């Protein structure tokens, strides 16, 4: 098996699945004329990040890591994987016409005067909205996307994948190092091999599904994820 090599070594170099091959698969679903403005850039970003996950997985396989570095590598895979899934959900909700929209845009805010009610100071503001000429896309949180995808069976009707997505959503917030909920809320205590298994299962399920309809060679692009699966 070809391994990772240093830049000053001459032995055969390991390469992940190429960007062009990943793009060819992704283009089966993400392409122009589907009501999404930036299909080319999204395809590229999905391919870049899928390739990076394969690289990080190879780091886990090839390098003896300390327990802290192992945990941080798992965190990287989980965060990048969550980003891939979130962007795919965003795209799929739009092209399936179920993404949230709004007909209103905030125009101005009239701030009210403060009053004391039951010992607390309160204030009531008035927000004026202007009606748009046509509905526009409304921001959706990852949580809202997951709920919308589930109610519309965007990733199928089985509950397992949506349950894993919810767990990944919570972990994705760990990108903000200052968000700490309790004294032991550290990366070390938050990320483990079961989280690695979950994100690998979700990515594998999406990109080898009937949605992308991969041929046997394309399906093999994601076989490396299976070694991280746990029950």
pLDDT digits (tens, 9 = 90+) for 38-57: 999 999 999 999 999 999 99
State CA 178 to chain mean position distance: 21
Q: Provide the pLDDT confidence category of residue 91 given band limits of 50, 70 and 90.
A: very high
Is beta strand 114-117 parallel, antiparallel or unpaired with respect to 120-123? antiparallel
| Alpha carbons 32 and 93: distance in angstroms, whole number | 15
| Alpha carbons 206 and 46: distance in angstroms, whole number | 12
Q: What are phi and psi of 135, to 5 degrees?
A: -60, 145
Question: Residue holding tokens 């690289």?
Answer: 55
Q: Provide the pLDDT confidence category of residue 230 given band limits of 50, 70 and 90.
A: confident
Q: Which of 142, 167, 157 is nearest to 205 (CA)?
A: 157
Q: What are phi and psi of 80, to 5 degrees?
A: -65, -40
Per-residue pLDDT for 1 more than 60?
Answer: no
| Alpha carbons 44 and 11: distance in angstroms, whole number | 30
pLDDT in tens, 158-178: 889 999 999 999 999 889 899
Provide the pLDDT for residue 80.
97
State CA 149 to chain mean position distance: 13
Residue 47 tokens read as 């391919």
pLDDT higher at 13 or 153: 153
CB 123 within 8 Å of CB 115: yes
Per-residue pLDDT for 21 more than 90?
Answer: yes
């Amino acid at each position: 098996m070809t391994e990772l090599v240093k830049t000053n070594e001459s032995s055969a170099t390991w390469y992940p699945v190429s960007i062009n091959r990943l793009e060819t698969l992704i283009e089966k679903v993400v392409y122009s004329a589907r009501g999404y403005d930036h299909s080319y850039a999204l395809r590229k970003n999905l391919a870049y990040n899928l390739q990076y996950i394969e690289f990080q997985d190879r780091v886990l396989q090839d390098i003896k890591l300390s327990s802290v570095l192992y945990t941080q590598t798992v965190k990287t895979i989980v965060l990048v994987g969550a980003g891939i899934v979130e962007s795919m959900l965003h795209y799929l909700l739009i092209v399936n016409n179920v993404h949230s929209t709004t007909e209103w845009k905030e125009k101005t805010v009239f701030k009210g005067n403060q009053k004391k009610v039951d010992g607390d100071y309160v204030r009531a503001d008035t927000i004026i909205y202007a009606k748009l000429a046509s509905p526009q896309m409304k921001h959706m949180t990852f949580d809202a996307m997951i709920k919308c995808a589930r109610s519309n069976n965007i990733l199928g009707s089985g509950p397992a994948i949506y349950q894993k997505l919810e767990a990944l959503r919570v972990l994705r917030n760990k990108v903000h190092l200052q968000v700490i909920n309790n004294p032991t809320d550290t990366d070390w205590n938050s990320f483990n091999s079961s989280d690695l298994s979950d994100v690998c299962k979700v990515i594998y399920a999406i990109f080898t599904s009937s949605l992308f309809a991969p041929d046997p060679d394309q399906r093999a692009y994601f076989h490396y994820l299976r070694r991280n699966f746990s029950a």
